[in-house]
A and B are shown apart, each in its own frame.
Chain A
Amino acid sequence: MKFTLPWLKEHLETVATLDEIVDKLTMIGLEVERVEDKAKQFEAFKVVSVISAVQHPNADRLRVCMVDTGQGPPLQIVCGAPNARAGMKAVLGLPGTYIPAKNITLAVGKIRDVESFGMMISGAEIGFSDDSDGIIEMPADAPVGKPFAEVLGLSDPVIEINLTPNRADCTGVSGIARDLGATLIGDYKDNAPKPVKGTFPCPVKVTLDFGATHPLCPAFGLRLVRGVKNGPSPDWLQKKLTAIGLRPINALVDITNFITFDRGRPLHVFDADKVHGHLTVRRAHNGEKLLALDGKTYELDAATCVIADEKGVESLAGIMGGEETGCSETTTNVLIESALWDELNIAQTGRKFGINSDARYRFERGVDPAFMLPGLELATQMVLDLCGGEPSEIVVAGDPTPKETIIDFPLSEVTRLAGLKMTLPQVRRTLEKLGFFAAGQGERIKVAAPSWRPDVHGRADIVEELVRIAGVDSVPSTPFPRGADARKPVLTPIQTRTRKAKRALAARGLTEAVTWSFVSKREAELFGGGKPELALANPIAAELSDMRPSLLPGLMMSVQRNADRGYADVALFEVGQIFKGDQPQDQFTAASGLRRALAKGTGIGRHWSAAAAPVDAFDAKADAFAVLAAAGAPMQALQVVPGGPAWFHPGRSGTIQIGPQNILGSFGELHPRALAALKAEGPLVAFEVILENIPAPKAKPTRAKAVLELSAFQPVERDFAFVVDAKIKAANIVRAAQSVDKKLIAGVTVFDVYEGTGIEPGKKSIAVAVTIQPREKTMTDAEIDALGQRLVAEVGKKTGGVLRG
């Protein structure tokens, strides 16, 4: 919403400065987006008269002009504009002038060997208008030497308000003035229009025809003015419209645009001679078309509300008129329409057709129903004043009477909701200045909302009005009591796991990425997703079409992008949501990471201390276990079984579980096919852990740790090397060894794995160190040997392993 300061002052008697008004507007919720001072912005560009324009000696398209600047001798200017000619008035920028729109400073230049002492400018060059076809042409009577913007009447500051969608009443200057008046910055002038008596019945009848469907037009007023003389509107009106960026067209159209901005009341004018018969307001028939005033043809359907005559659709109701019945300079009989429209329908229709008209802007917010007829009277008076003619009586279809909103309002509401104390006189004064009607004395009053405030429904809205006008600054900042509640952790278990997982992974040298929650359909399918219910109906791009079933595709693409930039040894992780279905319980928190090339857990990149080795499944396993440990998983209960989901290398991946029913995650080398599908280059290892699958720890009554038992006896360590089938898993040997005596065997560590010379092909040697912790007494050599023999026997039984000779 744009308006000039003098325009505002036509509705507000005030001595306040521009800055005071701008500040006040923002502080009452009419946020000033910008104040445009064209006079100041363009003051360096002045009117000149072109004395002569001759062909440039060295360039076909250039002319050499002599221009009179009103000061000193004429200046020589080289100009390439097609419209540069002798006798015209143009606009000149002198050397030294800065042009912000182009970020250049003009200088004396030589153009093809001819000196130029300035530049005659086009509207586009200085950001004044979109016109780049030629230099600005000033009226013939424009005084030479004056700033052109001032000559065009653009010296008034233009205020632009970013209007919130609830404020229908401030789509007109008069409404804005009323709001300002309530703050006592000035006095609101109630310029209520006077009725104009019709001298004959309106020959065109109006029917609202919505059949059994929801009516889209509550009321419609129409009047004919015959014998008008249309033409350019007077200077004052043209300047007003130009100042806020509207193009003057002709008096009849300019009047409707003026009232739209002055009162927030859009109107439409039909050339009565082009209208066939009577008007019907109805839903469009499917397939009906309208050539609108913007020159585009719209194909309509039953969701569109139209005004039709006996020939067909003439106007897109409340949004844009039709080309065929538009008013031109030759119009002599004009039908003026002032109507009310269904806000929701206007919004939907406007959005559907992509039309952002000034009418739509107002009707979708909801115009003042009580001003439907006064608006029509105001327009009639202006038509009579500017174009003459004779008005008919008004015909009205439907009923514009507004619904009354009466609110029972205890004054204590202001204190309860806003922490602000206000007296009854204060409350009454503010509300009445805003046009509300307040009745009653004492603690409880009745408040009636004005017809132009459809956004006011209840007590909270009244509080808002009072706080808004008093200023939110006047609400005292009040310390918020913490309360006497016990200080408990504020994080849920999953939140705690999430933040611990992140820091544990970063502590292992991985870098946290945040990738999109959506991936391409193909990526989703490759990583166990792709369900139709998780595909967006309106994705922003094809590669962001499906909710991710795993964090890995996003991380793989990220790692590859870094590799493409020359960062090959990258370790990334993410802890975030993945989607197995569209219900809340189908959303899980995954912790996943990816290591590429030499980004090993023991250190990233090459280093003198060890030969460079690529990442392997154990780097990923270590990451997975670090997450699980940090997130509080019962580490002793975890089992690792070979193999994982399809996107892992079948022989170099593992699954971490607590029994086959509770899988916590998986790790390993990525499958070469998954790499190929995502055009990623290995070596790449990855892990995924689902934080929700970690069992909750048992609640304990106190925080005390279990009693520490220190043995009085020295532990004994014995080494055993077993030769087993190459297929046998180390975990089986460890488990068998541990099972021999859970009390005495305190630890079993694998310290060597060997295949090759000295070991039969198809076999391998696994060496374990067994820690024996005597419990009640020191053990004799014989006792230790006996335990060792039992251990060898048990391992042999479970794995077929024999002691290496």
Chain B
Amino acid sequence: MSDIAQLESQLLAAVTSAKDEAALEAVRVAALGKSGSVSALLKTLGSMTPDERKVQGPAINGLKERVTAAIAAAKDALGAAALDARLASETVDVTLPLRDPPAETGRLHPISQVIDELTAIFADMGFAVAEGPDIETDDYNFTKLNFPEGHPAREMHDTFYFPPKPDGSRLLLRTHTSPVQVRTMLTQKPPIRVIIPGRTYRSDSDQTHTPMFHQVEGLVIDKTSHLGHLKWILEEFCKAFFEVDSVKMRFRPSFFPFTEPSMEVDIQCRRDKGEIRFGEGNDWLEILGCGMVHPNVLRNCGFDPDEYQGFAWGMGIDRIAMLKYGMPDLRAFFEADVRWLNHYGFRPLDFPTLAGGLSS
């Protein structure tokens, strides 16, 4: 065996036996360092004859390359083992619970959600959304809407009043959203197509009445819209809102001062253990009032009833929310109990659209 081969086997054995990077470095320095054994051999090349160098050169360089490669390989192996050892000691408990994301814990009140649902449905039919003040005049809340003087709803029993002004007039809290119909008719030119959601007030309080509640009204004024259109709109609305394929509705003649003819509308349903299903069953449930706008109201708002006509309807937002989503008690809507709001409320990203479904 030549000296070179012997040295190589010694060095490779030393590489193999190096247990850590420091020992390996010592082997490297001893072999390839300035005064290392391989470096020493390389230095001998300078004093050799060309013939000797031809033989010894490749041998010594080969030795250097193999030792270098062996050291590099050993270094990789040692590094990988060290990383494995380190990672083995680094663990987290991945079962620790996350914080609930705010967008999942926050809630919208059902009234807000239902108003957004109504808006989506009626916007699609070409209706805009109108609003007006909660504090109204007697004229807009009653007189212009053809409530005869002395109508019971004007009395203290139903209406919240403010103290009389020096001229004797009294402002009031609107008892319905209908004064916004008046405001709309007085400021807009037909064709008018609006829905009017908002807060309304009556001095009444029991299980099904709260002194404050929410209504939505619809108003159409033009030269052609009639009762048949009103029926169609309400049928389309009920199907879309209650998310059923068909609804059966019953229009009963009734009386409201501001419409003529007037009707109350019942929707067919089945009551089943506190749940109400629409589009089936044999029960009738009253959901709204409607009618053709009374000629006196048209006149009071500056329209000739022989030229212009239209219809209006109104319903309780709280009530249709209860019917759709099954809340049993109106009073809970205004009690801000976080348990109720969590249960019946809606996540902020549940945005009702007709494209994606109102409630899915």
Contacts and interface: CB of A to CB of B under 8 A. Distances in A.
B161 A584 contact: no
Interface string B90-113: 000000110110110111110110
B119 interface: yes
A27 B252 contact: yes
B203 A538 contact: yes
B99 A480 contact: no
Contacts of A537: 160-164, 170
Contacts of B111: 514
B110 to A, nearest CB: 9
A534 B152 CA distance: 24
Q: Which of B102, B133, B173, B349 has the most CB atoms of chain A within a 10 A radius of its CB? A: B102
Contacts of B107: 506, 511-512
A790 interface: no
Interface stretch (A84-92, A482-490, A794-802): A482-490
B96 A344 contact: no
A517 B229 contact: no
Interface string B278-314: 0000000000000010110000000001000100000
Contacts of B149: 344
Nearest to A509: B102
B57 to A, nearest CB: 49
A516 B211 contact: yes
A477 B235 CA distance: 9
B116 A499 contact: yes
Interface in A534-572: 534-540, 544, 547, 555, 558-559, 561-562, 565, 567, 570, 572
Contact of A480 (B116, B128, B150, B232): B232
A468 B160 contact: no
A479 B349 CA distance: 33
Interface in B117-147: 119, 122-123, 125-129, 131-135
B80 to A, nearest CB: 33
B125 A480 contact: yes
A677 to B, nearest CB: 19
A351 to B, nearest CB: 6
A514 B347 CA distance: 16
A502 B232 contact: no
A472 B251 contact: yes
B233 to A, nearest CB: 5
A482 B252 CA distance: 27
Nearest to A512: B109
Contact of B348 (A476, A495, A506): A506
Contacts of A562: 336-338
Contacts of B254: 29, 31, 164
Given A475-B228, A567-B339, A165 B203 contact: no
Contacts of B134: 517, 547, 577, 579, 587
Interface string B336-347: 111101100101
B32 to A, nearest CB: 40
Contact of A509 (B106, B109, B203, B232): B106
Interface in A503-519: 503-518
Interface stretch (B1-9, B45-53, B63-71, B260-268): B260-268
A491 B351 contact: no
B261 A467 contact: yes
A311 interface: no
B357 interface: no
Interface stretch (A58-66, A107-115, A414-422): A414-422
Given A533-B162, A536-B161, A540-B205, A514 B334 contact: yes
A604 B101 CA distance: 10
A532 interface: yes
A169 to B, nearest CB: 13
Contacts of B225: 480
B320 interface: no
Given A495-B131, A537-B161, A537-B170, A477 B231 contact: yes
20 contacts: A164-B255, A459-B295, A468-B261, A475-B231, A478-B231, A479-B229, A479-B232, A490-B129, A509-B103, A512-B107, A512-B109, A532-B163, A539-B160, A561-B337, A562-B337, A577-B199, A579-B135, A582-B162, A603-B100, A603-B102
Closest 4 CB pairs of A and B: A29-B253, A509-B102, A419-B228, A478-B228
Interface of A: 26-29, 31, 164-167, 343-344, 347-348, 351, 415-420, 458-461, 463-464, 467-468, 472-473, 475-480, 482-483, 485, 490-492, 494-495, 499, 502-518, 532-540, 544, 547, 555, 558-559, 561-562, 565, 567, 570, 572, 575-577, 579, 582-584, 587, 601-604, 607-609
Given A555-B336, A602-B99, 8 more contacts: A419-B227, A467-B227, A472-B251, A492-B129, A512-B341, A533-B163, A582-B171, A587-B135
